[in-house]
Structure 1
Amino acid sequence: MRDPSVFVLGAQKCGTTTVADLLAEQPEVFVPSIKETYFFCDPARFELGTDWYRSEFYAVKAFGAAKLLCDATPFYLASSCAIDRLANFNPGSGRYIVCLRDPVDRAYSAYWHQQRLGNETLDFEQALASESERVSLARERGQRWWRHAYVEVGMFGSQLRYAFERLGRENFLILTSEDLRDIAEVQIRIRAFLGLPRREGLPSSKRSNASGRPRSRFLQDAVNRPSIAKRFIRKVVPRELRSSIGRNLLELNLKPFRYPPMNERTRGELRSRFKSDLYELQAHGVMVPQSWFSGSQHG
């Protein structure tokens, strides 16, 4: 049994699903059908141990020609505990891909994503005002605090500083949402980063995890929420198969949705909150688009 050595660390709503899908298309890379294992950032899962992690997500025999195993969980970057655990799990040998986006746009997109999942009931301004309290309470309870961490998850500069210190700057590939406009070039960069030979005939366009809303909330909850039926299915259906079925059902259940524009005053306040962190991001050698500072290209 082999361990994953390729990790898409984050951040959520920055293109991690697209990158994970691109990785899954490489015959040398295996990505589980549910790309987000949450193992290193979820206390309950981490307590199950590394043997559980390996057998739950990487025990399948269908690796084919895959030489590299991947874990793409978009909240690892924001969790110092996850970074510490990764440093101990794969000391010096891991390869880490990070996807970044204008943090203001990311925060708003993450908010509507949680609305879609049924995890958010406040309006955006209320959610921002309540973030610190909600995140602290979730941490105390060992819950998934990042669900409502709209600002905290977007502090890329401080997060990368810590990740570089613990995991080694040379082991990172940093991509931005602007980079993902040229999928063919991203494919080339990913393969070079992983030490894989260049391939011809790669797809030139791919966009995964587009925004939407569920046609049926009942179906979404049936797939996502715990239930007696799901516990039975878990015992008789292999993880890869049930994960693939669940993912396909969720995608078919989505209908297109374009969320309303952000309040401009709120946008300006967020722009100010992220500004110093963006300067730190630049100090770490990351090419930060000017629009992330000015918001001149927001949509």
Structure 2
Amino acid sequence: MDFAFTKMHGLGNDFVVVDATRTPFEPDAALLSRLTDRRFGIGCDQVLVVDPPPGADVDFGYRIYNADGSQVGQCGNGARCLARYIAEHGLSSKPRLRVRTRSALLELRQQPDGQVTVDMGAPRFEPAAIPLAAPARADHYDALLADGSTVRFGAAGMGNPHAVIRVDDVDRAEVARIGPLLQQHPLWPESVNVGFIQIIDRRHARLRVYERGSGETLACGSGACAAFAVARAWGLLDARAELALPGGTLILEWDGDAQHPVLMTGPATTVFEGRFEWAN
């Protein structure tokens, strides 16, 4: 197998992007493992695949594969890179695109300054919609972890399940310990992305995210949206705020209406292009 790829990143959250609009691309676990490997492959957090439109109401399909070979339903940083990729490769000249993932319908908007705004859809707080194995919606949930410690978190669905933990200082947060332990908790039937948020003021916060299938990444778009929505529900942030992640800053907007979408704006950068030969 021989195919073209583009290496991209959104705030350091990096991707290998493959165009399957003309030639089908169905990677198996072995190929995904090699593509994401930073020593023996290209190296990335996730592999993104651009597909033909799955219906008349959308412009493209959009698949997202984690480094462990699993497929997920949402990636905000990847969506911005997808919009830039589509424009740079002449797949569409529309300033606004509608793309469908396995769990969400996204609208992507090119901005004059080169940044991309993604309509990430409305946040979901009902446990069954996240999904979270809790009897009823609550502002906070408590979990006893396997090491005997207890953690309190908020929860939201943004195409993927997210737990949000408020901390005093993200630099000192026990991301590497709490992240995998909470992911393994039976409260999360599909595992979970775990965000650690530090509130600076009503318009600024800091965030680190431990992603399922990838570990801690420099940025997580859906994780930023979920953390912002949960912090808004807690009454801690205004309707427009900047979230600083290790890889850079995202601008988030949400009016608090459960029927309205979260808007996320940030950069998308092309790093290099090439061809990959695979003989398993």
TM-score of the superposed pair, with normalisation by structure 1: 0.25
Greater per-residue helix proportion: 1
Greater per-residue strand proportion: 2
Larger Rg: 1
